[in-house]
Chain A
């Protein structure tokens, strides 16, 4: 299996009952029945993030495939409204053809927009452009008890009511099935380049790089901006310059983890890895994805990261170790919120930290 194949995604297990609603009304009808029958429901986009969080058993799968496509794209407003089941790769290809991007994860496999939002996944450009959650302007969802709700709005700046788009980002389906989102877009920059270096440059070396990615093979500084700016910074950094954005391959291995620490602790985190560990470290962000089967090592690293306010979570594969680690101290409050949106707890039950 090549590294890229590993993150392509997965179809629901063979024999699973799959429901594919074509819109919020049909979805609400199904969820009302599911609530009545106390069915456990899995929410499925591209199946790329199923290993993130607790394994949940389910009676039926809701696929978002029937709610896909661009509903409204207004380039001059830098906004696009898309169905949850829209393929990230296809959306980005379409937006790129119009000179724009939603800055969604760059190696999405079969991931859907709804899945990226529900899992709160971000791409490498977050160092420069912020995480995905800062670009979700509006969210529409059907709650566990089948209410079709909307939060946020289709404008790039908004403080009108509670921030449901951020609440839904990273909620793993527990608050409802996301049906569509409005995303904030960015124009594609004039130029991009990748500078390959042996060492990680100090953070003062570049004003706002797009990403600084370290792997066992070396460091790549990703740049985007005007042609003159990219040329100038690349020259200053030295090293080998490649045109365009050259991302490292996704981390190979059966079990892949993500360590999240305050950015200043990233070098020390990487320093703790046993020799021959595969990893991609995002400097300035504080996230490093790595492969490890030695559960004792992962446990130690987790304890260390958690003491600093961070976490080590499983992103791919299976193991006997808790996939999330210590749940947040606000678990009871989170439990109340989940119950307010899915009182019968039918959606992705038990998936969240703390088993919510």
Chain B
């Protein structure tokens, strides 16, 4: 039997498609890269996923897992063709364990749906990417996603206790446990952020946090980006790590306000959105401290609110920022890099210079608290000359971030988009170690091939004498 026939026999015709339009849609993600899917399947159970892996691997065809396709780094793009496994039908929130503050969920559960479902129990899932109303928990696991509220609480890896995974041989294993410090190597930790290259995640044991008893949100406006950045450092130096600490530059604030009509102080050079959560006594004291540090750093206005409606409006503005850009230009290129917090201002200055040199419109909204930058270049993809300039500028921005002690991605992953930048951060020996790790999980390279690691990363034979750093063989 051919691959399509075997998979159809397993799933039926309604949960498999080879329709050209569907294949076209499933051949890309929210970024700019495009691959070419041969088949898309929609499993509903772990057993089906395991059977899919066994069947597809017999045919020696790549397997690419996919959640909502909101990734920007081409992690879910079938660049080598093959079978796209859409996890969207595995969207069950199994029993929520209130006492242990955990829940087993399917990888296709939408991030926000999880927190909405657990809210009556006084619990929530902390990672909150801007795409949280559509992105899936499985996608969050694949990319170790963050969001504004991971400043104090950590990214997805800090909120996933265990994973059920189908490995390359079709075997199903559980990595991690609801008990602390499970025995052996932390394969759960390795699986998270591995972008579908090590196995297919079929169930996820999430850790849920109690909803905070109280919250305060502050909007601070500054005349310079420097003052805003100094406020970020000042807050942390004073002993407070807020739940979220987000910055928006003027260009972005204008774009958001034109859409939001929320009365944002658009005349300011930089806006800082800070949120503190906890006991009332804690948030009152911390909000006061943030106000004081902001005032010391010449904030031109500070708005403090505990009002749910006002908070919702401010966060809507923050999380819809990328959508709001649509009125400025038909396309945008969104970057995701991290620099040490102390290098934010100098890095931003250089990013503005790069945009200006390439005559590109740039806006910034980012997680200032952890140095996670998201420069956004608005452009028109129909204009090929402009598109080339965007690519060049994007590449230069990565170089600037790395030269400032930064890394390639804070929460979007490497995928294909940044794969070939990996040698900027890692030596051939480092990359070889990562390639060996991949090989331990997936010796035939069936899972999401060509992602994360540059081609040729596996440069030594097992057990041979090492080659000095910097030498390619």
Contact = CB atoms under 8 A, between A and B. Distances in A.
Do A and B pair up? The answer is yes
Interface of A: 28, 32, 74-79, 99, 120, 122, 126, 130-131, 133-134, 143, 145-151, 153-164, 166-167, 169-171, 174-175, 186-190, 204, 207-208, 225-229, 231-233, 260-264, 285-287, 305, 308-311, 313, 324-325, 327-331, 333-334, 336-341, 343-344, 352-354, 356
Given A149-B427, A340-B439, 13 more contacts: A120-B181, A145-B463, A149-B429, A151-B433, A156-B371, A158-B338, A160-B425, A162-B193, A170-B185, A226-B289, A232-B280, A262-B179, A309-B179
Given A148-B429, A149-B429, A337 B437 contact: yes
Contact of B189 (A166, A208, A356): A166
A303 B185 CA distance: 21
A259 to B, nearest CB: 9
Given A154-B405, A208-B210, A328 B433 contact: no
A187 B281 contact: no
B372 A76 contact: no
Interface string B429-440: 111111011111
B408 to A, nearest CB: 5
Given A159-B144, A162-B193, A170-B181, A77 B186 contact: no
Contacts of A227: 285
Given A143-B433, A161-B434, A155 B371 contact: yes
Given A155-B405, A158-B410, A187-B239, A260 B179 contact: yes
A75 B100 contact: no
Interface in B174-196: 174-175, 177-187, 189-190, 192-194
B422 interface: yes
Contacts of B185: 167, 170-171, 174-175, 334, 337-338, 352
B99 interface: yes
Interface of B: 97, 99-102, 122, 143-144, 146, 150, 154-155, 157-158, 162, 167, 173-175, 177-187, 189-190, 192-194, 210, 212-213, 233, 236-241, 278-282, 284-286, 289, 338-342, 367, 370-372, 405-414, 418, 422, 425-427, 429-434, 436-441, 452-453, 462-463, 465-466, 469
B409 A160 contact: yes
B465 A32 contact: yes
A202 to B, nearest CB: 10
Contacts of A308: 179
In this complex, the member of A171, A226, A286 whose beta carbon has the largest number of chain B beta carbons within 10 angstroms is A226
A207 B370 contact: no
Nearest to B339: A155
A148 B144 contact: no
Given A99-B239, A330-B175, A79 B340 contact: yes
A224 to B, nearest CB: 10
Contacts of B339: 155
A134 B157 contact: yes
B176 to A, nearest CB: 9
A159 B157 CA distance: 10
A61 B335 CA distance: 47
Contacts of A344: 463
12 contacts: A150-B426, A158-B410, A160-B407, A167-B185, A170-B185, A170-B186, A311-B183, A327-B184, A330-B187, A333-B167, A340-B436, A340-B437
A328 B193 contact: no
Nearest to B183: A353
Nearest to A353: B183
Nearest to B99: A264
Given A153-B407, A159-B411, A169 B236 contact: no
Nearest to A208: B278
A162 B437 contact: yes
A333 B100 contact: no
A67 to B, nearest CB: 18
A1 B237 CA distance: 41
Contacts of B281: 226, 228-229, 231-233
A15 B53 CA distance: 54
